[in-house]
Each structure stands twice: as structure tokens, then as C-alpha cells.
Structure 1
């Protein structure tokens, strides 16, 4: 299929990578639709307090599972692009590292929960938290994703994710039909990770590969840990300012408010697959341009920022206007307060989209420590604002805190001389300056 040309965009890049992006988009769209439908069904089956309790373990363990991943996934993708002949050593070493991390976090999760629960009683039982904690171990198989991303074979990722989400949805709907208790839905959260890992393993083996060929190399392990630890720490910080608001809402307002807030945030964050899919697909093109043509490299980055703003801003406007109607159609009355949260939180998506795109620049340039510092800034701002705004404004305060934190985190690179140019480029996209230039150029 011929891809139509777009004024201001590199046609060669579009032709080469749009197909892979399409596969990733399809996977994310399918996953998003399935998850939202299941979430809606759950709100009609469980109370808002039960929904809060169901969301709490995921929010609690996400910091630890992020640490267990060690930040190696994205770095392994980059190394596979550079040294494809080392595939088995890179994947095998990363797998063992992630398994080790998944085992180490289990006692840490237990100890942390015990300490927090002694200070203030948590409504969610320990067994729920520990069950979800095992996802850190199972996610080790997700390193296979890096193999397919390095080959721009998004169709395989699409098949695994859609199949896994369909099975997950079928299981949860079956639990609703048979009238299962809340415990079974918590176990289903762990099963989601198992289904995804099984899918990746199956598709990898089915493509003539074998994990039995994977080998662990100490020198590669040291190299990965030395270079990926900033990404690992950054992932932990990301999980903090993505989920700390949920934990603090439960602390200040209880599981009921957490249930309302979590539903609204899920709808807002459902669109975050878009920048991830786009950047994952064009990352090889960005790396190639950086190596061969610096001017094209900068042009591709600007085009990516433009695209991120156009998509996210359009989504924010539409969702803000339709948020009350969405909640009245899809949810029961006890969840209606979430409409206001959605109309606020959806605007944070603009900065998430831009931040995801600029992260590719930081990775390409090797500025992993700057990426970590940027995320730390956002996490710190989010925590501080939540401390003051949740008690005063409730779940709306948490939404505003997220919006401000994302904006500050994304544009923090303006303060650093060697990344300031990228910050200026993002501002041009944000204020639609480059859109005006493209439209003017098309009429000249």
C-alpha cells in the first residue's frame, strides 16, 4: 500500500516505518478497548470500594516491579540494533538479571507492606499485594519484546498482546458471570502477566528461535547494569509519579475514592499507548539518522514532537467536552465524580506524549542520567502537590497534581544547555508554531 506524502515529513521514513507502527497501534487499540470494556463491566459488578481495593495492589507493587525490570528492555533493544549477532547473549543475560530482580523484590514488598500497615491500616489484604507482586518475576519473559522491536516486527507484538487481553477479558467476564469473589479478580491480575509471558514465549519459539540458546555472559551483565541503571531508576520514578497519587488517595480518602479515581485515570491513560507505539517504531529511524545525517535527525525529532502535540491536543479537547456524557453512559452513579477527574487528567497526556518522544532523544544521545533526573523532578513535584491538594481538593487535587508534575518533568530539559534545543522544539510544537510553518509552506 502506498503511503500518501505529508508536507514537512520524510516520505522515506513514513514508507519504511508506518507499517510497523500500524501493527503496534492495532495491538494497543485492541488492548485499550478490551481493558476499558472489562473495567466498565467490573464497575457494574463491584462497588467503588472493591474497585479501589483491586487497584491498590497494582499501585503498591509497581515501584518494585519497575525495579525488578532493571531498565534493561529499552537498552537491550538498542544493543540488538547495533549487534544483532549477540542476540542470544543479550536476551539470555537480560532474562537472568530480570529473574533475579523479580525474586529479590518479593521479601521487600512484604516488609514494606508490613511497615506501612503498622503505621496506618491498609484496607487491601497482604495476600492481595503479594499475589500481584509475583508479576515482577513473570515479566522477565517480556524481554522477548525487545527482540521483535529491534527487527521492527510489530505484528508479532500485536498478536501476543491482543490474544492475551482477549483471554484476560474472557476470564474476568467469566468470573463476573459465576459471581466470583474479589479474591479471584486479584488472582486474575497475576494471570494477566502469565498470559502475556506465555504469548511472547510461544511466538518467539514459533519463529524459529529458542530460549534454550540463550546464554548468560558476566561481561554483558556488567555492561547492561552499568548502562541501564539510570533507566531502571527512572522507571521506578516514573512508577512513583504514575501511581503515588493512588496510594495517597487511599491514605487520605479511602478505597472508595480510589475506586472512582482509578476508573477516571484508566480512561485518561488508555491513550498513552499511542506515543509508545510511535516512538518504538521510529526509534530505529531516529538512530540511523543520528548516525548518517544530523540535519535529518533533528528534522525527524521535530516532526515527531509535532505529531505528538496534534494527536494529544485533539484527544484532550474531545474527551474534556464529552467526559460527563461518557460517565453517565458507561458507569453507575457512584462513579460519576470521575468525570471531572478525567477532564483534568486528559490534558496531562499532552506532556506525556511529548515526554515519551523526547525520551528517545535522551536515549539516542546517551543522556540516561538526565532522563532519570527529569523523572525525579516530576515525581518530587507530584508527591509534594498531592500532600497539599488531596486533603483539600480530593481526587480533583490529585488530577491537578499529575498535570503540573507531567508538565514540569517534560520541560525540565529546558534548564540543561545541551538539551535546551529539544525543549525549544517541543515548545514550538506545543504552541503550534511548526504547524503554522507547515501550513504556510504548503500554500507557498
Structure 2
């Protein structure tokens, strides 16, 4: 599969780092199909409960990742002889943090349950089970290792195998018409088999987990570097997931309808993550050797992400109602308008993913934190105002505005303003028009 020819686009460099995207897309599309089938099967109330639990665990789980993934990649690239120390230290840091977060997550939920006076004895069990999956996700550091070696295809293959197994199990649950608890158990099983799969592929490709070591000095160093990203990741999770939690005060049905729309809207978010993750090593290398080429690659990246996200947003916003009825039949009335608004958030999520890598490459981790903090605060404040009046539609508007503000926050900072202007040029297709005129 070859990338489309775009004048001025550094095809050779991008093709080298994007050749595995097809396999990743297969996995994500399969996951999306199964996820939509689950939403249709459960209906708004039960799907709302599941979405609430997943959102809550997602926010606390962002802490457990410790913002280490990109730093692991950079550390291994810079010190390949220390990979066992880097991986071992990162794993133990994550395991310890995630173990502590399980009771913390339950305390947060029980406090929220008490304050909101929402019934949820069974929901407590769902939250507990899903919170435990973060322990298994600690082994995602193996993914970061393979990214540093530009060998992500091995991880993608493992993910797809696990996904196929998981999908078969979930489809069986739907066919047998089992209750929500079994779907939660299936999600627990997903995380477990993926952790096992990552360990197996690491061992088979010449690694040896038994050689991993823990270094207190390395741990302190990693924490100092990643601390702003930990806070940033939590802020990202908050402004992407807080809607479902705050909507719970309106009721599980409201959460379910909104989440059904958001699931379709956010189905494309793996694309910028895959692209940006793939090209990050190329950006780092270009920055070391050729700043002009580095800036050109960033501009090409912004353009590419807009070329992908803009047509999708236009199409889905026009046909939102038809898509909701096609996918969910008549179970999620009112989700169409939410989808037509929420889908535009993706445009800013795409650009934000790319500019995040720029901020990391330049060492502007504090700016990354402040912009996501700004987005999170705006989203929460808008939700407080809009959800009581407009429920899920208000939450969609809040998310869109928060994503826009978070994306272009860098325009407010003099030393990052140039990148913000580059993103605006991509957003308004200036580069495309310039290329057309030159022809």
C-alpha cells in the first residue's frame, strides 16, 4: 500500500514509518464494529453504565501510564545499551502506581455515588474489575520498546491476534444474550491476554524480561522528565471522558445516548495516534540533523492530518442521523445531533496530536500540560452550564470548544506561535491552495 502522491510531501520518509498502519487499521475497525454491536445490544441504560465505568477508569488509568511511553522511546534511542534498565524501571513504576490506583478509583466512585445519590451496587463491581485492567496495561512499555526500534509491526500483529480472540468471545456473549457483567469480564480478559502476548513477542524477538532491572536513579530521572506529561495525560483524559461522568447526574440513559454518538465520532482517533507515533522517530532524527527538514516534516504532518479529518467531519456531520439509525436502529434517539457536533472535535484532536509531538521534541512539556489543563477546565465549566440544559448535546458542544481551545493554545505562547500559525494554515488548506497555484 502506497501513500497518495502529494506535491512537496516527503513520501519516502513517511512511507518508511507508516507501512504498518494498514494492520493497525484492521484491528481498530474490527474493534469498532464489535463495540458498536455491544452498544446496540445493551441499549442506552446498560451502555451508559458501561461507558461511565470505562470513563472513570480511563481517567485514573492515565495516571498509571506515568506519561512514560514517549520518554521510553527517546531514552532507548539515546541509550540503547541501557534498555533493560529503562524497561525494568518503567515496568515496576507502573505496576506499583496502578496497584495503588485500584482502591483510589473505587474511593472516587463511591464518593461520587454518595454525592449523586445514584444507585449502583453492581456498577461498583464493574468499576473494580475494569480498574484492575490497568495492572496488565503496565506491560505496554513493550510496545514503546518496539516503537523505538521502528518494529511496531510485531506489536500490531499481537494486538490483532488478541483482538480477534476477544471479538469472538464478545460476539459469543451477544449471541447468548448474556448480561453486562460478561462484557466487563471480557474487557478484563482483553487486557490480560494482550499483556501475555506482548511478553511472548518480546521474548521471541531476542529480548529477555528476566534481565530487566530497577534503578532508583533512573526512576527519579524518568519521573522528573515525565511529571508534566502525567498531569497532561490526566487532563486529556478528563476533557475527553468527563462528559460521560458528569452526564451520569442526568441518568444512565443520557450517558448511553451521548456515548453512542461519541463512540462513532472517536472511532477515527486512532489514525492520528498511529501516524504521529510512527513518524516521531523521524521527527527526532530530522531535528538532530536538519532543522529545515524538521519544520517541513511537521508542516507535511499537519497537512496530512487535515486532509484525512476534514472530509470525514463533513461527511458524518451531514449524514449523522442516518448513520445513527443505520447502526443503532431506533434505540438511541437524539444521538444524531450530538454526533454532527462532536465529529468536528476530531479535526482539533488530529492537529493536537501532531503538535504534542512537536512540544515533546522541543522539551516544552510544561506548555503541553498548560494547554490540556486549559482544555479540561473549559470542558468542565461548559459541562456544568450546558449539561443540565441540553444533556448530551450540551456535552458535545463543550467537548468541541474544549478541543479547539486546547489545540490552538500554543498561539498564545510566543515561542510556539509559529507552530500554531502552521496549524492554522493547514486547517484553512492554505498549503493545498499554494500547491494548486504552483501547478
TM over 0.5: yes
After TM superposition, the structure 1 stretch with the greater mean CA deviation from structure 2, 337-346 or 349-358, is: 337-346
SS at match of 2:126: helix
Question: In the alignment, which residue of structure 2 is the partner of 1:48?
Answer: 44
After TM superposition, the structure 1 stretch with the greater mean CA deviation from structure 2, 196-205 or 135-144, is: 196-205
* Counterpart mapping for 1:353-392 below 5 A: 353-392=350-389
- Cα separation, 1, equivalents of 2:332 and 2:321: 11
Q: Does the aligned pair in 1 maintain the 2:143–2:152 contact within 8 Å?
A: no
Question: In the alignment, which residue of structure 1 is the partner of 2:194?
Answer: 196
- Cα separation, 2, equivalents of 1:14 and 1:226: 32
Deviation, structure 1 residue 98 = 0.2
Question: In the alignment, which residue of structure 2 is the partner of 1:231?
Answer: 229
* Counterpart mapping for 1:100-111 below 5 A: 100-111=96-107
Cα gap change, 1:46 to 1:145, in 2 (>3 Å): same
TM-score by length of structure 2 reads 0.96
Question: In the alignment, which residue of structure 2 is the partner of 1:64?
Answer: 60
* Counterpart mapping for 1:10-409 below 5 A: 10-17=10-17, 21-27=18-24, 29-124=25-120, 125-251=123-249, 253-409=250-406
After TM superposition, the structure 1 stretch with the greater mean CA deviation from structure 2, 96-105 or 45-54, is: 45-54
Cα gap change, 1:3 to 1:103, in 2 (>3 Å): closer
Q: Does the aligned pair in 1 maintain the 2:351–2:407 contact within 8 Å?
A: yes
Structure 1: which 4+ aligned runs deviate by more than 4 Å? 1-5
Deviation, structure 1 residue 180 = 1.5
- Cα separation, 2, equivalents of 1:210 and 1:64: 30
SS at match of 1:333: coil
Deviation, structure 1 residue 3 = 6.5
- Cα separation, 2, equivalents of 1:378 and 1:123: 31
Deviation, structure 1 residue 384 = 0.5
- List per-residue Cα deviations over 1:258-307 (Å, max 9, x = no partner): 11111111111110111111111111111111111111111111111111
Q: Does the aligned pair in 1 maintain the 2:236–2:376 contact within 8 Å?
A: yes
Cα gap change, 1:2 to 1:332, in 2 (>3 Å): closer
Question: In the alignment, which residue of structure 2 is the partner of 1:429?
Answer: 426
- List per-residue Cα deviations over 1:326-382 (Å, max 9, x = no partner): 122221312132121111111110100000000010000011111011100000000
Cα gap change, 1:218 to 1:338, in 2 (>3 Å): same
- Cα separation, 2, equivalents of 1:175 and 1:323: 29
**Over the residues paired in the alignment, what is the CA RMSD in angstroms?**
1.5
- Cα separation, 2, equivalents of 1:369 and 1:238: 14
- List per-residue Cα deviations over 1:417-443 (Å, max 9, x = no partner): 1101000100111111111112222x1
In the alignment, structure 1 segments of 5+ residues that lack a partner are none
Q: Does the aligned pair in 2 maintain the 1:25–1:274 contact within 8 Å?
A: no
- Cα separation, 2, equivalents of 1:188 and 1:237: 28
Q: How many residues align?
A: 437
Q: Does the aligned pair in 2 maintain the 1:54–1:185 contact within 8 Å?
A: no
